Structure 1
Amino acid sequence: MDPIREGHLSEPGLLVIDVAGRDDATVFAFQAAIARLWGTSTAEHTTRDVGQPGVRLRVYTDLRQVLEGAPRRSRSRRPRRKAWSATTGGVADPPASTVPHPSPACPVGG
C-alpha cells in the first residue's frame, strides 16, 4: 500500500484504515459498514500483496462527519458483550467459575 501522507491525518478525527481480509466480499462489507456511519472515501478495488494471504483495502474516514441516520451512542447502562481476549487468539476466555483457583487452605507449592 502507498504510504500515509501528512494531509490524511492533518486534523483530529481523520483516520486511514488499512483493511485485510480473506476476500473482496469481506473487506467491501467492512468498508460499507464504516461508510454507513461516517464520511468515508471508499475504494472500488482491492489489492493483493505478494506473499501475504487475502486482499487489502484502504479507507479514508472522517469521524467528524457522522451521517444522518447513523446510530447514536446511547448513555444506557446496558451490559456490554464481553470482548475476546487478544491473548487467547480469538477464543473466548472461560467463565470465572471454571478457572481453577488455589485453595486458601492449601499453600501454593506445598
Structure 2
Amino acid sequence: MIMISILAMTAIVFFSRYIFLEPRVPLKLNNHALRVLSYSSPAILTAIWAPIIFIPESEGKLFISYQNPYLLAAIIAGLLVWKTGNVLLSIILSMGAFLFFNLYLFS
C-alpha cells in the first residue's frame, strides 16, 4: 500500500510539472496567472527559512535575540547579498559567521 502511494504521488508531481515545462503541450497561462505564480517561490522559501531562523530550538518559542546565531548569520547573509550582489560569497561568509557564533560565542 505504501509503495502504491509513493508511486501515485510521484506520478502526480511528475505530470503536474511536465504539463508546464513541455513546450509541445499547448497550455499557456494568462498574464494574471503568471504574475500570481511569480510570488510562489519567495513564499515557499520564506516558509522554509523563517521557522529555522526565528524558532531554532525544538521548544517552539519565538527566539529573537542577539544570542540567536541563526538570526545573526541570516542578518549577515542578507546584508552581504544586498551590498555585494554575490550570492555564493554571501553564503560562504554567512555560514562561516554562523559556525563562529555557534562554536565560539554561544557554546
TM-score if structure 2 supplies the norm length?
A: 0.31
Structure of larger gyration radius: 1
> Quick check: which one's strand share is greater?
1
- Higher relative CO (Cα under 8 Å, sequence separation at least 6) belongs to 1
